[in-house]
Structure 1
Amino acid sequence: MISQAIEIENNKIGAAIQYFRETYQVSQSRLCKGLCSIATLSRIESGERDADSLLLETLLERLGKTPNQFELILTDSDYEAYQKREEIKHLIENKNLEEAGKLLAAYEKTAPSKGNVHKQFIVRSKALLNELQGGEVEVTLDLLMEAIAYTVPGFKTNKIREYYLSNSELNILIDIIERMILMGDNSRAKELIGQILDYLDKHNSMEKNNRLYPKVAILACKLYMQDKEYEKALDLCNKGLNSTKGSRKLDFLGDLYLMKAQTTEALQKQKKERKPQECTKLFLQAFYVFTFCDENEIAENIKKYLQEEYQWECIDWVI
């Protein structure tokens, strides 16, 4: 990996992309699909063409690398565009919607010449703004569909496996699923979530995919629970928990334990089996995680449920 450091110092990010692409045996056509032409990628890899940071970030993420692992040297105009994107995201996150809309409109004027990744960023931002402004869920969903279609045109036709997806692309797909569920369109949500789980299983060697798996597993579990497919839900809970092993982050861990407890309980009722100790243990695992993470309201609800359903007497827990 010494060569990686040398190449980055010399701003030859294209060489790094080529190195990881060949290491993971990814063809140029699959890596750049929906992002740029094969000829453009070849010129980027050979150092014959500079690319803007958003395209480079997306290519790196598709290879399982986070952009902060690399130090990109940006032109003045590219750095200005990067700052605008970060400010737009910050304004949306802080619900400063009027300013976000103005800055997004200004950014949009530069997009036509910058390619699909920029158009995707703009349309996804519009979707988030529409939702935060109280717009219809259908409009938000349509905008998210438009956003993902810029770089993953085949996502409607069960072809997600053919792509290498960035974090941003995967998160847009998750956003789409969440809005489908809000609209009660569970059948389409299940179809799409099945594609994503299939994709994550196929590319489970990539760290970024393992970080996303718990979030997707929770969504899928909720859908299977609604349809009383408890064994499928339980299997996904276990896969989600396995994907968190070795991670120092507790993101989604409490939700997974809680979902596993609820699924196990429902499955026992369906089979007319009663194993209170097993359920109590699982609910307690969720309780402890939520308590540790200061999610006190959820922890209190679990505690109350344990006391009412399983006659559990709480013993003060000291970290």
Structure 2
Amino acid sequence: MDYNIGCKIKELRKYWNMTQAELAHDICSQAMVSTIEKNENVFISAQLLFQISQRLGVNIDYFFQDTKLPKYNYVNDVCEQITTLIQSKKYNEAYEMVRLEKKNPHFSKVNHLKQFLLWREAICINYLKGNKLKALELLDESLSYSETSYKNYSVREIEIFISKAILLNELQRWTEADELYTKILHYAKKSPAIRSNAIFINIYYNAARNANMLKDYKKAHNFCNEGILICKKEQSVFLLGYLYYLKAQTLFKINGKYSEEILKLYKEALWVFEK
């Protein structure tokens, strides 16, 4: 079956406004990229295709959308378990898994898996030990394993930046967090790899919280509106109650008094929380 891998690589490279030389840097020769993009009869190793996919910020299966790849393997299963534990706020169990897997060659010898574990370790250390500076250091270390270029970011890298912005907010470094949210939104909107709007809802809510701390109430209000619009479009209640509540608060700060609209927003927030 012909998957037109070369065409997909070229389209994605051009989408990111990346030259062949930039894509090839430290991976292969520019001539090899040119040959691949022309779909000439050339053998592309799994390792080469993996490195190219990492540079372009997509999973390798992006190039094989018609195939039925195995859904689970050991590594994916471990990553999913750690993520589920963190989402369930079971930080002790997640931290133990991270510490164990850091010794596993399947993780310790692969950059994007080392990145994943450092990201998850940072979150655990923040909530278990309250050591926010150490957590921030780990997040920056995890980003050092990025294999994309300076022109794009993978979905995971965007999620790590979100974690960093949240942490900066908790450290009351609101201006830095605000600048980072601007960067996150720029790259998230451009990314062809983001398939879940939950990421955008998360960005808008946390960016709104941060803008509120900066007393930029109009900006916070606009972020809330963006998040609410996505929730309604996707028929999702993810963070919707919090968005309604925060929008009500920002409106009060803007207008200096309560109104029917604000009371309605509080009622809508309560309705979501009680669901």
Q: TM-score range by the shorter chain?
A: 0.7 to 0.9
Q: Aligned with 1:118: secondary structure?
A: helix
TM-score (norm 1): 0.65
For this pair of structures, how many residues does the alignment match?
264
1:185 aligns with 2:173: yes
- What's the CA shift string for 1:20-52, capped at 9, x where partnerless? 637957647699699x73559959986521149
User: Structure 1 residues 129, 227: CA separation in 2 closer, same or farther (over 3 Å shift)?
Assistant: closer
- Contact 1:31–1:59 at 8 Å: present in 2 too? no
Q: Is 1:126 aligned to 2:121, yes or no?
A: yes
Matches within 5 A, 1:195-234: 195-201=183-189, 203=190, 208=195, 210-234=197-221
Q: 1:190 to 1:71 in 2, by over 3 A?
A: same
Q: How far does residue 198 in structure 1 lie from its aligned partner after superposition?
A: 2.7
Match of 2:135 in 1: 140
- Residues 237, 260 of structure 1: 8 Å contact kept: yes
Alignment of 1:146-185 (within 5 A): 146-151=141-146, 162-163=151-152, 165-185=153-173
Greater Cα radius of gyration, structure 1 or 2:
1
Q: Which amino acid aligns with 1:285?
A: E
What is the CA–CA distance in structure 1 between the aligned matches of 2:198 and 2:264, rounded to whole Å? Answer: 25
Aligned match of 2:103 in 106, 121, 124? 106
> Which residue number corresponds to residue 37 of structure 1?
27
Residue 142 (structure 1) shift: 0.5
DSSP 3-state at the match of 2:46: coil
Distance 1:105 1:205 in 2: 30
CA distance in structure 1 between the aligned counterparts of 2:78 and 2:36, rounded to whole angstroms: 24
2:49 and 2:122 mapped to 1: Cα distance?
Answer: 23
**Would the alpha carbon gap of residues 279 and 91 (structure 1) be closer, same or farther in structure 2, given more than 3 Å must change?**
closer
Equivalent in the alignment of 1:21: 12
| Contact 1:111-1:118 within 8 A present in 2 as well | yes
| Aligned-partner Cα distance in 2 for 1:221–1:152 | 30
With over 3 angstroms needed to count, the CA separation of the structure-2 counterparts of 1:56 and 1:80, relative to structure 1, is farther
Range moving further from structure 2, 38-47 or 245-254? 38-47
User: 1:226 and 1:120 mapped to 2: Cα distance?
Assistant: 30
Between the aligned partners of 1:48 and 1:205, the Cα distance in structure 2 is 23
Distance 1:255 1:66 in 2: 34
Is contact 2:217-2:254 (8 Å) kept? Answer: yes
Q: In the superposition, relative to structure 1, how do residues 66 and 224 fare at CA in structure 2: closer, same or farther (>3 Å)? A: farther
Deviation at 1:279, TM superposition (A): 1.2
Superposition pairs of residues 271-286 of structure 1, within 5 angstroms: 274=257, 276-286=259-269
Distance 1:13 1:90 in 2: 35
Instruction: Give a deviation string over 1:266-304, Cα, whole Å, max 9, x none.
Output: 1110xxxx5621111222222222222xxxxxxxxxxxx
Question: CA 1:53/1:91 → structure 2, altered by over 3 Å: closer, same or farther?
Answer: farther
SS of equivalent residue, structure 1 residue 150: coil
Matched-pair identity in %:
22
Unaligned runs of 5+ in 2: none
Please point out which of 93, 96, 119 is paired with 2:93: 96
Shift of 1:130: 2.4
Which residue does the alignment assign to 1:306?
none
Distance 2:251 2:193 in 1: 30
Q: Structure 1: which 5+ residue stretches go unaligned? A: 1-5, 293-319
User: How far apart, in 2, do the equivalents of 1:16 and 1:71 lie?
Assistant: 20
Match of 2:233 in 1: 246
- Alignment of 1:50 with 2:46, yes or no, is yes
Instruction: Please tell me the root mean square deviation across aligned C-alpha atoms, in Å.
Output: 4.2
TM-score, normalised relative to structure 2: 0.74
- Structure 2 partner of 1:260: 247
